[in-house]
Every structure is written in C-alpha cells, then in structure tokens.
Amino acid sequence: MNLRNKFRWKRVLYEDQSVPDNYVDDSFLKSRKTSAQTYHFQTLFVSSLAILQQLCVVCCFVLVWFHMREGNLTPMVVLTMCISVTLVCCFVFTMYSNEQKYIRFFIITDGLKTALLLLIYTGLASPILQTLTHTISTDTLYTMTSMMLLGHLIFHDYGSSGILVSQSVSLNMAIFAAVCLSSRFETAFHTFATIMMALQLFGLWPMVRRRIAAKNQVVLPVITFVLFMIIVAVLVHYSVVCAVAFGCIGLLINFIFPFILVKLQPQKDNIYGPWDEAVLSE
Amino acid sequence: MTKTLNIAMVSDFFYPNVGGVENHIYQLAQCLLANGHKVIIITHSYENRIGLHFITGMLRVYYLPLLVFYNQCVLPTIIGTLPMIRTILLSEKIDIVHGHSSFSTLAHETMFHAKTLGIFTVFTDHSLFGFADASSILTNKILELSLADVNHAICVSHTSKENTVLRANLQPQNVFVIPNAIDPNEFSPVELSNGDGRLRIIVMSRLVYRKGMDLLAGIMPEICQHYSDVDFIIGGDGPKRLLLEETKEIYQLHDRIQFLGAVPHNRVSEILNQGDIFLNTSLTEAFCMSIVEAACCGLQVVSTSVGGIPEVLPTDLIHLADPSVHSLLTNLHKVIENIRKGNVTSKPEIHKKVSRLYTWPKVASRTEAVYHSVMKQRRPTLKGRIQKVLSCGPVIGKLFIIFIFLDHLVCRILDIIQPVKSKHSEDITTKVHCETHFAVKSGKR
C-alpha cells in the first residue's frame, strides 16, 4: 500500500512500472457494470396481449369448427362471416397504411385479386382436402390438430425476434390443423368454409393486427378483451371447467408471468465491461 | 533463484497450425530453453505428424494421437488421456505444466492430470469472453472448475486479467499480467523507392465480424471518395471478404483496393512496409499483436479502443477511436492530414520506440518469475483440490469431485500396472524426426 503514495499506477502494458506482475491496483474491476435490463409492467402487459390474442384466435377457430360440426352453424354463415371480416380487415389495412391514395387503390385491388384466387383454388381443392385425411382415425386427427395448433402458437411472430419465430412454419402448421379438422365433415362445402376461415384467421389477421398495433395502441387491447370475453361466454355454455381454465391461462399470460418477470429481473446479475464485444450501431 | 526447471507447455494449438497462441508457445519455449530450462511441448497430432518430434534448439514436441473434434480441439474425455500424459510428465520429470488458451481441451485435461500427479500448474489465457450468452456461461463454468486449483494464471493484458478473474473466480493476486511480444528484428521499416506520392492504408486481419469488417466496409468508400491518392491494401481472408469485395464493386474501387488473401507470417512485414497507415477495426481484442507489429514497422496506427488495445501502445503511437465508422473516419482524416503536412514521427524513430517495448526475452524472464513463485507453493493434494472444487458450485462441484476421485484411482492402478521409470533426456531412443529448419510462423490471417 505504501507503493501507492509514491506513484500513480497506470493501466498500461508498455511501461515498466516496477511493480510485480500480479500487482492488484485499487482501480481493479472498477470499469465493470452489473446492471441488467429493467422491464416495465405496462409494456410487458401490452406485448403479452399479442400472445393472448393469438390464443383467442386459435380458440375461436376451434369453437367455430365445433359448432359447425354440431350443426349450430351452417357453412354459409361461416363463409359470410369470413368474407365480411376480410373486407373489414382489408379496409382497416389500407386505412392504416402510409401509402398515398392511388397506391392504396392498387393495394386493395391486389389484395382482392389474391383473395379471389385463394377462394377459387380452395373451392376447387376442397373435395380433395375433405377426403385427404378421411381414413385416419378421429383420435389421431385430434392429437395432430392439437400439436399443430400448439406449434402454431409457439412459432408465431408476436413481434419479437428469436430462433423459434417463423411465420411460414407457424402458418403452415395452422393450415395443416385446418385440413385435419375439415375432413370430419360430410360435404365439401363445410371443408371449404373451414379452410377459408383458417386462411382468414391465421393468414390475414396477424398482418392486420401488426398494422393496427403499429398505429393505434387502444384498439387491440379492446378487441382482445372482447374476443376473450366472447370465448369465455361460449365456453361456459359447454363446460365451466374449460372456461375457468381458459380464464386462468389469460390471467397467467397477461398478469402473473409479466409480474414475475418484473419482480425477478433485479435478481439477474450480468456483468459488462471493457472485454465485451463492441456493438455496432450503424 | 537460478534453479533450472522442467516445464511442459500444453495446448491444442501448435505448429503446423498458425496463430497468436502457437507463436507465443514457440517463442516462449525457445527463450526458456536459452535460459537453461528444460522445455517440452505437448499438443495433439496434426495430419501425419504423430509422436515425438525435435524442432529448433532440440525443443521436444509430443504430438499425441488424439481425436480432434471441433476447431482444432481434442474430444474431451476427462480421463482418456491420462495414461499417455502421465507417462510423458513422469518420464520427463516435469515440475510445472503450463497450459495455454481457454479453448484448448488438451490444456485443461493435462492440467487436471498434472494436479493428480502432484505437479504444479500454470495457465495462460489469451482470449476475452462475455458473460451474457449461453455458450459463455458454459465455457466460463468449465474454466472455473479447471482453474479452481491452478497455482497461477497469466493473462496478456489488464483487461484480460479482469475478465479471467471474473470468469474463473480467481484471486486477483494469483493472476499475473505478462503481455505478448514480437520479434522487433522481423518488423523493421524498409524505405521503398516507389515514391509515387500515394498513401496506403494497410488492414491485416482475419476478415470476420469480430474484427470489425462491417466498419471497414463503411470506411473504405468514404476515404476513397474524399482522397484521390489514398489506397487500401487488405491482407487476410475470411467470410466477410464477400462484403468487402461487394463494397469494392458497388463503388467501383477496383484500382484503389487491393485484396491479398491469406498472408503467410513471414510476408507480413513486407506488406506492412508498403503502407503508411495501419487500420485496425477489431470489436474485441485481448492484446492485439498486429498493431504492435505495424507500429514496429513505423506505421501510423489507427485502431478501435476496445478490450486491451488502449493498454498496448503509448498514446503518441496510436490513434484510438470509438468502434464506429464516424469516429474511425475522423481519426483517419487527422492522420492523413498530418502525414501530408509532414507532421508525424519518422518510421525509424517509431521503430526505435516500439522495438524496446515487447520482446520475448522479457516475457520469458517475467514468466520465469511466475514459475519460481509457483515452486515455492505447496504441492497440490487431493484434500486441497476437493475443497477448492467444492466452492465452485453445489452441484457441479460435487460432480467434478467424482472425476477427481476417478482420476486418482486410475492413476493408482497405472502406478501398479504401468510403472514409469524416469529417464534422462539423453536416453531417449525413440524414433524421432529431426526438423532443424523450423520456425513457427504466427498470424491467423
């Protein structure tokens, strides 16, 4: 320690500072930081709404299919619903876009062209799709559907980047699930309606949702809440256990998990210092 | 203090592989040999290079027939290498095992066996690691276990020491800072008579992300457009070469940027001598030999200020910039203008200053001091090892103790079935391949 009074140690290698090589200065490890990133509950709540929302969409799909199978809904009603929702989506999508008016027109016509193509192709293919998995037992199909829908939820793009996020995988899994389910119907028209609904819910809606989320903070939570309530109400009608379980999942995803993350984050101890790789900003 | 020691340097990385670690081991071993110590090198086999080889100065290199599985590292087997390494260490009467590089599994395994045999261990860390990602967490834990009972560790810069102390949970008093060195005679300025008045910026590194090649891609067009008489010479190869070649294509800089591809180490000084400015854009670096080499050739050095780089050269010999295109450009403009005005120290003068700073004999004598300090310590015992390893973690510590016990057990069995008679170096009658004209040439370029 008496060395310190004689000179000020410098953190350099090119000078012989006449101290042993294992000299430890008071400045040792002063430049490290141990701060971990902090989260705010509100932002976490809003981000996790996307997960709940997609879960609601999946439930919505399964419920509509179920009602169609029970005979409470005719395919015509489902198709009309689909088309009207698609039109609304289309309108919202263009309304929230940054493009100029004449380009918007092209976007709309382009979108309608794609929609028409999908409609025709699905219509033509639905007799094949209906019989595609007809021979497979119902239990196997249900298991496959559950796995695929779970996979869809796992791979879905909720707005964060990661290895697991893949839009195409997620969409394909959902469509596969729809094809599985649609083979349990008697007519090809039913199959057609199911596939169209799947395309609309899993293909179109996430695009629209992202566009809305970028422009308006209020609409999405409201839509999610309404959807959530409707699904709980429908579920209560059939099974109280299911409804309660669904409600609990919603609560967990949106309140309890973010809360735990916010609480536990200060415990995280990550060390930063001059040895870290520099991050390029450009 | 002048007791001669038997030292075994161990690393997966050695000649014919080339790089900073390889060069470090070779040069250090040569200097220690010159100081009268007995030095052997243990590495894994390279292609048909298996067994005991003699290289310059009768330096003995053991190329062990082990399975290489990733990045020139041997497959970790924990006790698989014990019979071989035990025979070598005991027959060579090794006092100190000196492991190099935290990536080298062979170094860790040999140190592990050495402790079992009651031999002192020293470890040199050549690299920096973060703490955030999963691979770092795993590597750091392995390093902590391996270094828990090491006698002394050596790092190449103060930043590297801080990093190693944190990663391996060591006592800072047990970690020594001994920088790398260069051969100043190899890097001396040569006046070239191509006085066309053009300035050349030299870049010499592997063309990878970690060396900041994305920054370089941003800098090249700016400098070339701003000055009509400044060219780039880029030595080295790697995945980012594509990006740089693309930049060249887009900005039509075919006559301004020259790519040399991978450069053998003995040509580095020749290329450095063609230039006036050396540009280093690394994003992380423990020591950075290339800026010392460049400065030794008398070049003006512009470098990012990351890792251990600010410690390496005196402030009048290096221009430090933040790791951003803007900051590097500002510094380059300053240096170019200074050269134009003749406002810079001459090449021979810079060479004179730098050549004194880092030399291998200095490194060797400082390393010797570490060895002597190690020799004064108590020999590693099973009890001491267990205590130290237990403090590494409640689960992994106990798991690792099993390996230690196993190692001791196998060692006892080998003592019975395979007793080692220590022999003098003169007695070795093994078939050997003499390679007198051998020099490790470093530089992963």
Domain contains B171? yes
Considering only CB atoms, which chain B residues are within 8 Å of A280?
Answer: 212, 214-215, 283, 323-324
User: Which of B214, B169, B198, B344 shows the shortest CA–CA distance to A278?
Assistant: B214
SS3 content of chain A, % helix, strand, coil (to 5): 70, 0, 30
- CA-nearest residue to B177 within chain A is A21
CATH code: domain of residue B131:
3.40.50.2000
Is the Cβ–Cβ distance between B231 and B243 less than 8 Å?
Answer: no
Using one digit for the tens of pLDDT, what is the confidence trace for B155-178? 999 999 999 998 888 999 999 999
- If one compares B145 and A162, the residue with the highest pLDDT of the two is B145
- Take residue B325 and report the two structure tokens written for it: 């295109």
Is the Cβ–Cβ distance between B319 and B301 less than 8 Å?
Answer: yes
The arithmetic mean of pLDDT across residues B293-316, rounded, is 93
ipTM value for the complex? 0.78
Is the Cβ–Cβ distance between A160 and A48 less than 8 Å?
Answer: no
Is the Cβ–Cβ distance between B245 and B259 less than 8 Å?
Answer: yes
Question: What number of other Cβ atoms are within 10 A of residue A192's Cβ?
Answer: 24
What angle, rounded to 10 degrees, do the helices at B134-147 and B396-417 form? Answer: 50
Q: Is the pLDDT of residue A173 over 80?
A: yes
Domain contains B190? no
- If one compares A184 and B437, the residue with the highest pLDDT of the two is A184
Rounded to a whole number of angstroms, the distance from the CA of B217 to the nearest CA of chain A is 12
Distance from C-alpha of B50 to C-alpha of B53, rounded to nearest angstrom: 8
Mutate to test the interface with B, among A30, A277, A279 (most CBs of B within 10 A): A277
The arithmetic mean of pLDDT across residues A226-251, rounded, is 91
Per this entry, what is the length of chain A?
Answer: 282
Could A21 and B214 be called an inter-chain contact, meaning their C-beta atoms sit closer than 8 Å?
no
Q: Is the pLDDT of residue A80 over 50?
A: yes
User: Which of B20, B41, B2, B9 shows the shortest CA–CA distance to B358?
Assistant: B20
Is the Cβ–Cβ distance between B314 and B293 less than 8 Å?
Answer: no
Query: How many CB contacts within 8 angstroms connect chain A with chain B?
Result: 93
| Residue B110, CA distances (Å) to B100, B103, B105, B117 in order | 11, 13, 8, 10
What's the pLDDT at B423?
A: 55
Is the Cβ–Cβ distance between A274 and B311 less than 8 Å?
Answer: no
- CA-nearest residue to B179 within chain A is A13
Mutate to test the interface with A, among B126, B135, B150, B162 (most CBs of A within 10 A): B162
Confidence bin at A258 (pLDDT 50/70/90): very high
Mutate to test the interface with A, among B158, B167, B377 (most CBs of A within 10 A): B158
Could B165 and A13 be called an inter-chain contact, meaning their C-beta atoms sit closer than 8 Å?
no
CA atoms within a 13 Å half-sphere pointing along the CA-CB vector of B335? 27
Q: State the Cα angle at A87 between A82 and A93, rounded to 5°.
A: 120
What's the pLDDT at B438?
A: 39
Considering only CB atoms, which chain B residues are within 8 Å of A277?
Answer: 130, 210, 283-284, 306
Tell me, yes or no, if B411 comes closer than 8 A to chain A by beta carbon.
Answer: no
What's the pLDDT at B177?
A: 94
B263 lies in the same domain as B386: no
Could A280 and B283 be called an inter-chain contact, meaning their C-beta atoms sit closer than 8 Å?
yes
% of chain B exceeding 90 in pLDDT: 66
Using one digit for the tens of pLDDT, what is the confidence trace for B341-356? 988 888 999 999 999 9
Is the Cβ–Cβ distance between B121 and B99 less than 8 Å?
Answer: yes
User: Which of B8, B44, B10, B50 shows the shortest CA–CA distance to B433?
Assistant: B50
What's the pLDDT at A135?
A: 87
Rounded to a whole number of angstroms, the distance from the CA of B411 to the nearest CA of chain A is 34
Could A275 and B178 be called an inter-chain contact, meaning their C-beta atoms sit closer than 8 Å?
no
Considering only CB atoms, which chain B residues are within 8 Å of A37?
Answer: none
Using one digit for the tens of pLDDT, what is the confidence trace for A26-76? 888 877 776 667 788 888 888 888 899 999 999 999 999 999 988 888 989
Looking at chain B, the number of H-run helices and the number of E-run strands are 15, 17
The arithmetic mean of pLDDT across residues B13-30, rounded, is 90
What's the pLDDT at A241?
A: 93
Number of domains into which chain B is organized: 2
Confidence bin at B431 (pLDDT 50/70/90): very low
Rounded to a whole number of angstroms, the distance from the CA of A278 to the nearest CA of chain B is 5
User: Which of B300, B311, B302 shows the shortest CA–CA distance to B358?
Assistant: B311
What's the pLDDT at B217?
A: 94
What's the pLDDT at A38?
A: 76
Domain contains B38? yes
B204 lies in the same domain as B347: yes
Write the single-letter amino acid at A107.
Answer: I
Region of poorest pLDDT, from A34-38, B81-85, B441-445: B441-445
**Phi (first) and psi of residue B44, to 5 degrees:** -95, 165
Domain boundary among B324, B355, B386: B355
Distance from C-alpha of B19 to C-alpha of B348, rounded to nearest angstrom: 27
Domain contains B376? yes
What's the pLDDT at B194?
A: 62
Question: What number of other Cβ atoms are within 10 A of residue B326's Cβ?
Answer: 14
The arithmetic mean of pLDDT across residues A182-193, rounded, is 88
Domain boundary among B319, B340, B355: B355
Helix (H, G, I), strand (E, B) or coil at B112: helix
Confidence bin at B252 (pLDDT 50/70/90): very high
Could B311 and A22 be called an inter-chain contact, meaning their C-beta atoms sit closer than 8 Å?
no
Per-residue buried b or exposed e for A138-147, using 16+ beta carbons within 10 Å of the residue's own CB: eeebeebbee
Rounded to a whole number of angstroms, the distance from the CA of B165 to the nearest CA of chain A is 9
Q: Is the pLDDT of residue B248 over 90?
A: yes
Could B162 and A281 be called an inter-chain contact, meaning their C-beta atoms sit closer than 8 Å?
no
Distance from C-alpha of A88 to C-alpha of A111, rounded to nearest angstrom: 12
Confidence bin at B32 (pLDDT 50/70/90): very high
Tell me, yes or no, if B280 comes closer than 8 A to chain A by beta carbon.
Answer: no
Considering only CB atoms, which chain A residues are within 8 Å of B366?
Answer: 21
Tell me, yes or no, if B363 comes closer than 8 A to chain A by beta carbon.
Answer: no
Domain contains B186? no
B111 lies in the same domain as B83: yes
Considering only CB atoms, which chain B residues are within 8 Å of A15?
Answer: 314
Q: Is the pLDDT of residue B412 over 90?
A: yes
B82 lies in the same domain as B223: no
Considering only CB atoms, which chain B residues are within 8 Å of A270?
Answer: 131-132
Could A22 and B210 be called an inter-chain contact, meaning their C-beta atoms sit closer than 8 Å?
no
Could B179 and A274 be called an inter-chain contact, meaning their C-beta atoms sit closer than 8 Å?
no
Using one digit for the tens of pLDDT, what is the confidence trace for A114-156? 888 988 998 999 889 888 888 889 999 999 999 999 999 999 9
Could A277 and B284 be called an inter-chain contact, meaning their C-beta atoms sit closer than 8 Å?
yes
pTM of the model: 0.72
Helix (H, G, I), strand (E, B) or coil at B279: strand
Q: Under 8 Å CB-to-CB from B410, ≥6 apart: which residues?
A: B79, B82
B177 lies in the same domain as B29: yes
What's the pLDDT at B440?
A: 39
Using one digit for the tens of pLDDT, what is the confidence trace for B214-246? 999 999 999 999 999 999 999 999 999 999 999
Considering only CB atoms, which chain A residues are within 8 Å of B210?
Answer: 277
Is the Cβ–Cβ distance between A49 and A221 less than 8 Å?
Answer: yes
Could B159 and A13 be called an inter-chain contact, meaning their C-beta atoms sit closer than 8 Å?
no
What's the pLDDT at B441?
A: 40
Distance from C-alpha of B106 to C-alpha of B98, rounded to nearest angstrom: 11
Could A273 and B163 be called an inter-chain contact, meaning their C-beta atoms sit closer than 8 Å?
yes
Helix (H, G, I), strand (E, B) or coil at B11: coil
Q: Under 8 Å CB-to-CB from B167, ≥6 apart: which residues?
A: B129, B131, B140, B143, B144
Tell me, yes or no, if B398 comes closer than 8 A to chain A by beta carbon.
Answer: no
B45 lies in the same domain as B169: yes
What's the pLDDT at A36?
A: 65
Q: Is the pLDDT of residue A177 over 90?
A: yes
B349 lies in the same domain as B365: no
Q: Is the pLDDT of residue B439 over 60?
A: no
Q: Is the pLDDT of residue B207 over 60?
A: yes
Confidence bin at B133 (pLDDT 50/70/90): confident
| Burial class for B178, CB neighbours closer than 10 Å (0-12, 13-18, 19+) | buried
Q: Under 8 Å CB-to-CB from A260, ≥6 apart: which residues?
A: none
What angle, rounded to 10 degrees, do the helices at A167-182 and A188-198 form? Answer: 160
Could B177 and A270 be called an inter-chain contact, meaning their C-beta atoms sit closer than 8 Å?
no
What's the pLDDT at B218?
A: 93
Considering only CB atoms, which chain B residues are within 8 Å of A275?
Answer: 128-130, 159-160, 162-163, 284, 286, 307
Q: Is the pLDDT of residue B287 over 50?
A: yes
Region of poorest pLDDT, from A107-111, A146-150, B194-198: B194-198
B130 lies in the same domain as B41: yes
Domain boundary among B322, B355, B388: B355
Is the Cβ–Cβ distance between B68 and B44 less than 8 Å?
Answer: yes
Distance from C-alpha of B251 to C-alpha of B187, rounded to nearest angstrom: 34
Domain contains B1? no
| Burial class for B248, CB neighbours closer than 10 Å (0-12, 13-18, 19+) | buried
Considering only CB atoms, which chain A residues are within 8 Å of B364?
Answer: none
Domain contains B189? no
Q: Under 8 Å CB-to-CB from B19, ≥6 apart: which residues?
A: B13, B442, B443, B444
Distance from C-alpha of B14 to C-alpha of B98, rounded to nearest angstrom: 14
Q: What dihedral angle (degrees, nearest 10) is formed by the CA atoms of B421, B422, B426, B432?
A: 70
B167 lies in the same domain as B64: yes
Tell me, yes or no, if B313 comes closer than 8 A to chain A by beta carbon.
Answer: yes
Token pair 């409707």 is found at A230
Of B129, B218, B313, the CB nearest to A14: B313
% of chain B exceeding 70 in pLDDT: 93
Could A282 and B165 be called an inter-chain contact, meaning their C-beta atoms sit closer than 8 Å?
no
B110 lies in the same domain as B16: yes
Torsion sign over Cα B341, B344, B349, B355 = negative
Q: Is the pLDDT of residue B370 over 90?
A: yes
What's the pLDDT at B86?
A: 94
User: Which of B173, B164, B163, B143 shows the shortest CA–CA distance to B393?
Assistant: B143
Could B314 and A274 be called an inter-chain contact, meaning their C-beta atoms sit closer than 8 Å?
no
Region of poorest pLDDT, from B39-48, B125-134, B249-258: B125-134
Distant-in-sequence contacts of A96-104, Cβ < 8 A, 24+ apart: A96/A211, A96/A212, A96/A214, A96/A215, A96/A216, A97/A211
Interface of B with A in 128-157 (CB under 8 A): 128-132, 152, 157
B166 lies in the same domain as B295: no
Q: Is the pLDDT of residue B20 over 90?
A: no
What is the span of the domain harbouring residue B366? 6-181+360-442
Q: Is the pLDDT of residue B16 over 80?
A: yes
What is the per-residue DSSP string for A90-138?
HHHHHHT--S-HHHHHHHHHHHHHHHHHHHHHHHHHHHHHHHHTTTS-H
Could B162 and A31 be called an inter-chain contact, meaning their C-beta atoms sit closer than 8 Å?
yes
What's the pLDDT at B432?
A: 42
Distance from C-alpha of B174 to C-alpha of B389, rounded to nearest angstrom: 17
| Average pLDDT across chain B, whole number | 88
B159 lies in the same domain as B262: no
Write the single-letter amino acid at B193.
Answer: S
Domain contains B192? no
Contacting B with CB below 8 Å, chain A residues are 11-15, 20-22, 24, 28-29, 31-32, 270-278, 280-282
